[in-house]
């Protein structure tokens, strides 16, 4: 399993680091991909240098992609044509797409959640025009997994492990983390 977490300036730190950490613990080959080369600054000021740049991603070699929220991170991702193209290619291939907080608005703009059940950060539900909003902490609809926000990041990450690796691995990671 190979997964990329897409990052732009203004990414949500907890959502990014929790997902990265939990996926690594589960043995997933996970890495970060920035929309531009060099250091990016999170919504709370954390500076991170992504592992690679979006322009070097090849969706055919990926099994999954994760879109975190954070402001203005989700806006920056949604305004990047390469991000929308990758999401479209991943969806067309039936690959895994996950998003948390305001990140599902990026999925909406990419046109990959039409008619799908999703959740998002409270107050942004009406901006999911093509999807079916469900108020759960984590919502799974086939290959699309979404979650509400920073406070649900660990639960979201464990759901990714459950569906992408195995329920047993999710249980093991949860127990090891004392979650």
Q: What CATH number does residue 61 fall under?
A: 3.40.50.880
Instruction: Identify the burial level of 120 via C-beta atoms within 10 angstroms of its C-beta, where 0-12 means exposed, 13-18 middle and 19 or more buried.
Output: buried
In a domain, 178, yes or no: no
Q: What tokens appear for 120 in the block?
A: 């998002």
In a domain, 157, yes or no: yes
In a domain, 71, yes or no: yes
In a domain, 179, yes or no: no
Would you name the residues annotated as active-site residues? Answer: 101
In a domain, 86, yes or no: yes
Instruction: Identify the burial level of 38 via C-beta atoms within 10 angstroms of its C-beta, where 0-12 means exposed, 13-18 middle and 19 or more buried.
Output: exposed
Q: Are the beta carbons of 128 and 113 closer than 8 angstroms?
A: yes
In a domain, 89, yes or no: yes
Give helix 13-25 / helix 153-164 axis angle, nearest 10°.
40
In a domain, 136, yes or no: yes
pLDDT at 139: 98
In a domain, 176, yes or no: no
pLDDT at 107: 98
Q: How many domains does the chain have?
A: 1
pTM above 0.85, yes or no: yes
d(CA 8, CA 156): 20
Q: What tokens appear for 13 in the block?
A: 């730190």
- What average pLDDT score do residues 80-109 get? 98
Provide the phi-psi class of 21: left if phi over 0, else alpha when psi is between -120 and 50, else beta. alpha
pLDDT tens digits along 17-35: 999 999 999 999 999 999 9
pLDDT at 154: 98
List the domain range (segments joined by +) for residue 118: 2-171
Q: How many Cβ atoms are within 10 Å of 37's Cβ, its own excluded?
A: 13
pLDDT tens digits along 118-149: 999 999 999 999 999 999 999 999 999 999 99
């Amino acid at each position: 399993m190979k997964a990329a977490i897409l990052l732009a300036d203004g990414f949500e730190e907890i959502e990014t680091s929790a997902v990265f950490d939990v996926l690594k613990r589960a043995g997933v080959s996970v890495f970060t991909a920035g929309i531009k080369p060099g250091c990016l600054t999170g919504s709370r000021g954390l500076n991170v240098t992504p592992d690679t740049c979006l322009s070097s991603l090849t969706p055919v070699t990926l099994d999954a992609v994760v879109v975190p929220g954070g402001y203005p991170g989700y806006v920056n991702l949604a305004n990047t044509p390469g991000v929308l193209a990758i999401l479209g290619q991943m969806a067309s291939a039936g690959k895994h797409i996950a998003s948390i907080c305001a990140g599902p608005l990026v999925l909406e703009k990419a046109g990959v959640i039409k008619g799908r059940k999703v959740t998002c950060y409270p107050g942004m539900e009406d901006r999911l025009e093509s999807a079916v909003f469900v108020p759960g902490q984590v919502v799974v609809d086939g290959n699309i997994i979404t979650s509400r926000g920073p406070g649900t990041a660990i639960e979201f990450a464990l759901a990714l492990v459950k569906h992408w690796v195995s329920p047993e691995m999710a249980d093991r990671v949860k127990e090891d983390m004392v979650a």
